[in-house]
Chains A and B, each alone.
Chain A
């Protein structure tokens, strides 16, 4: 049993020494996401139907108060209407954006008490949707305008990585 404890201990040490070698998002690194979310982030990588790849960065203050950055990238079989058909995800009227890949739009992405802003666009045959949201009431770093700016800036970075 004593031997087992030592093995466990060294395993944990090994784990700790490789703690930096964690999964990473292909389009945005943790440090940049942290900068946008104003604090340390955790990253969850997900896949979803239609080959969607998702990076979800979360800056968790409390179980109720947190901000998130969600990046979804999806290969397209048909580029026509790729963005237009996703406008139903908007909770405000979409506004066309320039210089973020092809036919990008910006709109709100509110869910319950979470305020969110998103940018959806396309680079060649890949669709991307960037959503920045916060559940923190009265958060001065997550006003509607700041969320819009962040979503736009991040979307430009994502488009840049996809070119």
Chain B
């Protein structure tokens, strides 16, 4: 009997052992596809398909050719590429893309998601931060995937294997191919690494495999530099997270938007962030001694600071300080009890006396950034205005935007940030984006626009000589409280970079006009920017007054009149807007910008044909103008020209697949046309993307608890002296 039992145990153990190891046994079927299928089958056995069997990468958007998991080894290690692309490798290793996953600044946030909701939700983030791990099926409990790819974030073969872009939705809106570094003579992709000799023999086939023309487009960047928080992630609804891509498209640099305040040359994301420069190391990708930067210089000083990438840090700081992105202008002074404004400061005479209560108007112009200040995860970064008034001895008479001894920022500083809040009305700290339900305020400056910041201070009664006033925009990556959360409070101080500044010396007594600094805007532009600042603060009479100063200085400037008109339209002064827009069109009959606002006025007057004619012309000049497409669609809709309206809204969705007006109108138009499935689809998209009318409640909760932020959330607000003496301001939210 004992022998019998042992035999049974032995047999059972053999079977168990077989079952344990069978999973990893090669099936004997050869070929890359068979290997991939076998790998996929193995992953599927334990993979968490929470979001559907056929949607393994949700809540990310990424897709992959063959629609299956991909072995991580299919992606060549960056060291393989480095053999011929030394410069690229050297730059990439220090850049954000290679460190997209491993940095503590990312891990601290994504770990919370993993530990609270589950690792499968992190596919949303890792679709862009660690796509190889997602494609390998590594984002599941008890994963069997070797995570050595974590070191490399976005490896060479990540970007250079993308074969197509999806509609520009972001969240990893690309279609990955199986990595190949060569194509055969027929152009078929050869998966995996090949001997270098093969590449030397056929460099053109290598290029064909690893380069696509769309890699040079902003849409390529938009696949990840646009993000939303979808319902599967937050169990709530679609919420826009950030969209540097759309901000670029709305900027002067895209030349797709007729409504910008200024015009500029067409520049892509790559034009600023991948500038060509002489290469120090040999690289077959260099052309004429220059190489397109794979450092992607931008604002992140924290990652190179943490890793000790001094070269990257130095270049990042130089990039931020290059002086072309922002213009800081102390544009005007107003003395208490005096109606007249002293403006533009430096160009007009004035006097200052001891004990004057003075208001200084500072304009921060987002002059040459192709996106907002700050773009993307602005709840984590810190850009603010530091404003000082000093006496002859350099003693501070007033200081706003200072850093406290613990490194935290003056809670009443004017900061270009936002405050996302959760259902408890609390600041969403640590970038727990899946809990965001509302945004209490957003103080960023969109591309091409200007922020007007007001400071009030009193000149001491015993002052003599002069005072020095300085306004500067500082930048820190990251917000101090987030650095504290990541490292604990005992971390070194992270770099604070002054991006732009302007200082003026003001005499106590009389001040004559002074010569402008080389970096100063001309006076007409100073007025224009002041007008834009007023406009965005809903100060319509002041905006019109400022724009009137523009046309006094430049009577030939059609946009000056358009600016007056658009302010009047917002102010609902349609009669005077009519006169202003006619002046603009008299100076520039084909101005798409003026025609757009003219169309709005024609609509108001009931002149539908003229309205449509204007918008058709705008669309002819700017076929990718989302505003013109939207308004033309509405015009056609109102005229019961359903087919034409549908066409415009379809075009609008091509430009921006998240446009609410397009979803709403198409849902109606499709239904009228009997296209019920498409109508239902658009209706559902409208429902998830539309604003939640209950959300402001959470914002109001937050603002009640944070008076310092509440003040900042008012478009028009004043920074006054003495505020830094306030006792124990609630600093938790900054």
Contacts and interface: CB of A to CB of B under 8 A. Distances in A.
Interface of A: 1, 5, 8-9, 12-13, 15-17, 19-21, 24, 28-32, 34-35, 79, 98-99, 101-102, 123-125, 153, 156-157, 159-161, 163
Nearest to B1: A1
Contacts of A16: 15-17, 19-20
Contacts, number: 90
Contact of A160 (B13, B20, B102): B102
Contacts of A20: 20, 23, 45-46, 142
Interface of B: 1, 4-5, 8-9, 11-13, 15-17, 19-20, 23, 45-46, 102, 104, 107-108, 111, 142-148, 150-151, 306-308, 486-488, 490-491
A27 to B, nearest CB: 11
Contact of A102 (B17, B20, B144, B491): B491
Given A159-B104, A163-B108, A30 B144 contact: yes
Contact of B8 (A8, A29, A156): A8
A160 B4 contact: no
19 contacts: A8-B9, A17-B19, A19-B19, A20-B20, A20-B45, A20-B142, A24-B142, A29-B144, A29-B145, A29-B147, A30-B144, A31-B143, A35-B146, A79-B488, A98-B306, A102-B488, A156-B151, A159-B104, A160-B104
A16 B14 CA distance: 10
A163 B306 CA distance: 14
Contact of A29 (B12, B107, B142, B306): B142
A99 B150 contact: no
Contacts of A101: 104
Contacts of B486: 163
Contacts of A1: 1
The A interface, classified by DSSP as helix, strand, loop or mixed, is: helix
B307 A160 contact: no
A160 B107 contact: yes
Contacts of B147: 28-29, 31-32, 157
A29 B148 CA distance: 11
Given A8-B12, A16-B20, A102 B142 contact: no
A68 to B, nearest CB: 18
Given A5-B8, A29-B146, A153-B151, 11 more contacts: A9-B11, A12-B15, A16-B19, A20-B46, A21-B142, A24-B142, A29-B142, A30-B144, A31-B144, A31-B146, A98-B306
Given A99-B307, A156-B102, A79 B490 contact: yes
Given A15-B16, A19-B20, A29-B142, A160 B150 contact: yes
Given A31-B143, A124-B488, A163 B107 contact: yes
Contacts of B11: 9
Nearest to B17: A16
Which 6 A-B pairs rank lowest in CB-CB distance, beginning with the nearest? Answer: A16-B16, A12-B12, A163-B107, A35-B146, A19-B20, A31-B146
Contacts of A29: 142-147
A127 to B, nearest CB: 12
Contacts of A102: 487-488, 490-491
A31 B4 CA distance: 38
Nearest to A22: B142
Contacts of A15: 16
Contacts of B142: 20-21, 24, 29
Contacts of B308: 98-99
Nearest to B484: A124
Contacts of B307: 98-99
B510 to A, nearest CB: 56
Given A12-B13, A16-B19, A125-B488, A31 B104 contact: no
A16 B150 CA distance: 31
Nearest to B487: A102
A34 B16 CA distance: 22
Contacts of A19: 16, 19-20
B148 to A, nearest CB: 6
